[in-house]
Structures are given as C-alpha cells and as structure tokens.
C-alpha cells in the first residue's frame, strides 16, 4: 500500500478495487491502516457522526483541519483525503485555494469538494495550482436544503444525463478522483467506464473503482441510523455497551480495582 495518487491511477488501469473509510481520530485511523484500508476520508460527516448534528452544514474548516492533522499524524500508509466543508470554497476559486492550502498543510494528500458543473472552474483553478481534487457528485449532503433531504439522485433520464455530463466536465477540468453518492448502479458503472480517473462509490453499486463507507456504520456504532446502502460488519454498539457495563458493575461491586 502506498499513499500516492499514482497508486490509485494504477489500480484503475489494472481494475483492482480500492478501499476507503472515514476516520476522524488517531485510534480509528490506526485501526483502518492496520486493516489495510487504502485511503482515509476526514469527511464532514464528522459533524453528524461525532458532533450529533442533523446535517453537515455547521462543520468548519478549522474542525476539518484539526482532524486532518490528527489522522495524518496517526498513519503513514493510507492516502488521506479531507473534505472542504460548506462555506469554505463555493464563493470563488481563490477562496477554495486558501482552504485547500490549509488542509494540505495539515496533512491531506487530496481534498474533496461537493458539486457538479458549477465547480468546474474551481477544480481547474485548483488543479493548475498543485491541489489534487476529488469531486463529489450525486447526493451532495451540503446541498440538502436545496435537494430537500438525503435523497437518491440521478433517477430520471435527464438527471442521469446531467450527472454524466458533470462527471466528464470535472475530470476534464483536472479532478483526480470522482466520488459518487446514492446514484443508480448502472449510471455509476457508465461514469466509471468513461472516466480516466478513479471513481469511488457510496450507495452507487458495485462497479465503481473504489468503495467508501462511514466507519461508524461499518462498526455498527450507529444502530437505527445507518443508511440502507451501508453494510455493518460488527455489532459494535452492543459489544462496547456490554464492556462498559461490565466495568461499571465491577467498580460498584468492588471487584475492580483489585487490591
């Protein structure tokens, strides 16, 4: 495993699937590295998963910068991708560049920004200034006020055609990766086949070059709150609650600490 973007380009050429998971802290980043995960996403899902917020809109650039630095300190092998949070990049390419510089200095190798055609100019500006960009299309949680909720995208032929057009334009503008969230599998497959850059899917079927999931969903730490497209590999909430209850009981019964 190697954290360079060239590794991802090679994997695409060789049709080898790549893996990504969210990480916001040292412990989870190290566990993911030990598991051989190829890339860590310091995502703005942080606000919901860690901060208990109803959406990602309140996450600040300073928060992503802080968590990126922690994750970057924790690991050496996985690629580190950091999210540009809502309000930190949309106004202008120069605003986006200033935000990206902070995340790259914090240790990110690539930044992710949400948006389609409207972000093409920004992606081109950043790419020409040595900022590797992953564009995020489909369900873009920073746009939920406009979309009206966490809804699947690209369901009509017109919407699917627009997403394909956005994907091609973003890749043309210099995006190094494309993340597609909650779109039909056949559309994600077509985009993956047509793009020269690696695609990452979440709720976009099995044909993308890589998959990403939120760590807390994979570990079963968010029961009752897990998106339908996620898969849970551990009964984490039950196991951890039971360990904590054992600790509390032993303290109350005078079993721990022992003499």
Among 44, 166, 209, 217, binds ligand KIV (CB under 6 A): 44
- CA dihedral of 5, 115, 142, 96, whole degrees rounded to 10: 70
Nearer Cβ to ligand KIV (52/254) = 52
Nearer Cβ to ligand KIV (104/213) = 213
Beta carbons of 69 and 40 less than 8 angstroms apart:
no
The encoded tokens of residue 8 equal: 């991802």
3-state secondary structure of 19: strand
Among 18, 21, 22, 182, binds ligand KIV (CB under 6 A): 22
Residue 209 within binding range of ligand KIV, rule CB under 6 A: no
Give 39's strand partners.
20, 79
Residue 108 within binding range of ligand KIV, rule CB under 6 A: no
Strand ranges, E, within 104-214: 110-114, 133-138, 177-181, 199-202, 210-213
Beta carbons of 120 and 135 less than 8 angstroms apart:
no
Nearer Cβ to ligand KIV (124/212) = 212
Beta carbon of residue 48, minimum distance to ligand KIV (angstroms, whole number): 8
Q: How far apart (Å, rounded) are the C-alpha atoms in residues 143 and 168?
A: 21
Among 32, 41, 75, 177, binds ligand KIV (CB under 6 A): 41
Q: Does the annotation mark 181 as catalytic?
A: yes
Footprint on residues 64-83 left by ligand KIV (CB under 6 A): 83
Residue 182 within binding range of ligand KIV, rule CB under 6 A: no
3-state secondary structure of 164: helix
Nearer Cβ to ligand KIV (208/242) = 208
Listed ranges 1-9, 36-44, 124-132, 162-170: which one lies at the site for ligand KIV (CB under 6 A) = 36-44
Residue 202 within binding range of ligand KIV, rule CB under 6 A: yes
Q: Residues binding ligand KIV: what is the number (CB under 6 A)?
A: 11
Residue 191 within binding range of ligand KIV, rule CB under 6 A: no
The encoded tokens of residue 63 equal: 């928060």
Instruction: Name the residue among 86, 83, 88 with its Cα closest to residue 110.
Output: 83
DSSP symbols for 45-107: THHHHTT--SSSTT--HHHHHHHHHHHHHH-SSSEEEEEPPTTSSSS-HHHHHHHHHHHHHHT
Catalytic: which of 14, 181, 207, 250?
181
Residues found near ligand KIV in the complex (CB under 6 A): 22, 41, 43-45, 83, 179, 181, 202, 212, 214
Tell me the catalytic residues.
181
């Amino acid at each position: 495993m190697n954290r360079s973007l060239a590794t991802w380009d090679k994997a695409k050429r060789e049709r080898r699937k790549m893996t990504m998971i969210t990480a916001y802290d040292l412990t989870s980043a190290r566990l993911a590295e030990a598991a051989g995960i190829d890339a860590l996403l310091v995502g703005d899902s942080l606000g919901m998963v860690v901060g208990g917020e109803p959406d990602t809109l309140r996450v600040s650039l300073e928060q992503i910068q802080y968590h990126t630095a922690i994750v970057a300190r924790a690991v050496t092998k996985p690629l580190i991708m950091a999210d540009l949070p809502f309000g930190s990049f949309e106004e202008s390419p120069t605003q986006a560049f200033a935000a990206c510089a902070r995340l790259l200095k914090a240790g990110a190798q690539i930044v992710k920004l949400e948006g389609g055609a409207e972000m093409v100019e920004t992606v081109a500006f950043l790419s020409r200034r040595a900022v590797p960009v992953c564009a995020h299309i489909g369900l873009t949680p920073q746009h939920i006020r406009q979309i009206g909720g966490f809804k699947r995208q690209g369901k009509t032929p017109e919407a699917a055609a627009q997403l394909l057009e956005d994907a091609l334009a973003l890749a043309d503008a210099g995006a190094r990766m494309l993340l597609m969230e909650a779109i039909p599998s056949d559309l994600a497959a077509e985009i993956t086949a047509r793009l020269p850059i690696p695609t990452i899917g979440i709720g976009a079927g099995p044909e993308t070059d890589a998959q990403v999931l939120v760590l807390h969903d994979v570990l079963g730490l968010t029961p009752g709150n897990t998106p339908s497209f996620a898969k849970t590999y551990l009964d984490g909430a039950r196991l951890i609650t039971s360990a904590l209850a054992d600790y509390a009981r032993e303290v109350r019964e005078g079993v721990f600490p022992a003499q």
